[in-house]
Amino acid sequence: MYILGIESSCDETASAVVSDQKEILSNVIYSQIEEHKPYSGVVPEVAARAHLEKIDVVVKKTLADANLSLEDIDAIAGTCGPGLIGGVIVGATFAKSLAFAKKIPFIAINHIEAHALSVRLTEKVEFPYLLILASGGHCQICVVHDIDKFQILGRTLDDSVGESFDKVSKLLDFGYPGGPIIEKLYHEGDCERFSLPRPMCSKGNCDFSFSGLKTAVLNASQKCNSLQDRKDLAASFQKTVSEIMSFKMKQALDFCFDQGIKINAAVISGGVAANLVIRENLKKTCGLIQFLVPPVRLCTDNGAMIAWLGIEKFKRNQINLLDFPPRPRWPLGENFYARI
């Protein structure tokens, strides 16, 4: 079985072909970083136009790299949300059009759920498992009991962690995208130089908050008089975020233990999972519990995770009609919510 996955929820136009034997036959990503760099962030209208210009080229290359044609594809999985609605409409409409033209099934994908399940494409992990899902637009922690069945333990109350990296990098005049830049500066600065707050780490829950931390960075930046000062502040920010993530992972592990939820692994996925500093600290926090992370190429938005979730759903006959609406908001676990 071959599934074509199409993703366009933010600033990557992506598609991939994945088999039900967990083989990634092709995985093509067109990044819009250069288009958005002048604005130090993603501009929705610019993103939508770039998706429209590139999606046909990306899908054609995907099929060529897989040495397949559309006649070989058993179903098409397309991101229908959540995300920037202009981009979501472009990808979802393209995916539906291909499915209609070739008379093959269409599967509507929540791209956040695709991030959550992506680890099952490359690792042997059974349900349930504990997950931190952290990206440019989302930050939450949950127990993944099954596809479509998520027990949400906590969410960000304001900014996502990925968005915070971008804003802090812009504030300190280091550029865009902030995540990889600040991770690099962590090794060039003194991460102990600035003492920054860890919001919501005195409470026994799994919710996140990053707005106060950003404000603290803003205030501290007023005292930075040199490039090294700014590097030290960036390094301190990276260290603090890593500590917050580890604290919340510990809270979630304790909750699972107290509730008798026998998790098979602890996982971080989403774009922030590519951050090696956060990865290493989370691994230490998990101790003897198996800690898993998707490969870096599958952490940011990509078509392979969309195709894989399509396979998981196709096997359970979860097929969608072509009138499935694109959604700017599509909460993960909206039918199974149990915040602590």
Helix/strand/coil (H/E/C) assignment for every residue in 96-161: HHHHHHHCCCEEEEEHHHHHHHCHHHHCCCCCCEEEEEECCCCEEEEEEEECCEEEEEEEECCCCH
Task: Write out pLDDT tens, residues 159-188.
Answer: 999 999 999 999 999 999 999 999 999 999
Is the confidence at residue 152, as pLDDT, over 60? yes
Give, as one character, the DSSP assignment of residue 42: -
pLDDT of residue 340: 41
How far apart CA 272 and CA 181 sit, in angstroms, is 12
Tokens of 337: 């919510």
pLDDT of residue 336: 37
Mean pLDDT of 131-149: 92
**Which of 33, 38, 47 minimizes the C-alpha distance to 170?**
38
pLDDT of residue 279: 96
Confidence band of 41 (pLDDT split at 50, 70, 90): confident
Task: Write out pLDDT tens, residues 80-119.
Answer: 999 999 999 999 999 999 999 999 999 999 999 999 999 9
Q: Are 17 and 26 in contact (CB under 8 A)?
A: yes
Is the confidence at residue 333, as pLDDT, over 70? no
pLDDT of residue 335: 39
Mean pLDDT of 251-256: 96
**Which of 316, 310, 320 minimizes the C-alpha distance to 2?**
310
pTM above 0.85, yes or no: yes
In the CATH scheme, what is the code of domain 2-117+297-314? 3.30.420.40
How far apart CA 79 and CA 20 sit, in angstroms, is 19
**How is the chain split into domains, by residue range?**
2-117+297-314, 125-293
pLDDT of residue 234: 98
pLDDT of residue 135: 86
User: Check: CATH 3.30.420.40 for 125-293?
Assistant: yes
Is the confidence at residue 240, as pLDDT, over 80? yes
Is there a shared CATH topology between the 2-117+297-314 domain and the 125-293 domain?
yes
pLDDT of residue 138: 82
How far apart CA 301 and CA 306 sit, in angstroms, is 9
Dump strand ranges (E) for the chain: 2-7, 12-19, 24-31, 75-81, 106-110, 129-134, 139-146, 149-155, 266-269, 291-292
Q: Which of 15-19, 33-37, 266-270 has the lowest mean pLDDT?
A: 33-37
Q: Are strands 12-19 and 149-155 parallel, antiparallel or unpaired?
A: unpaired
Sheet holding 12-19, edge to edge: 24-31, 12-19, 2-7, 75-81, 106-110
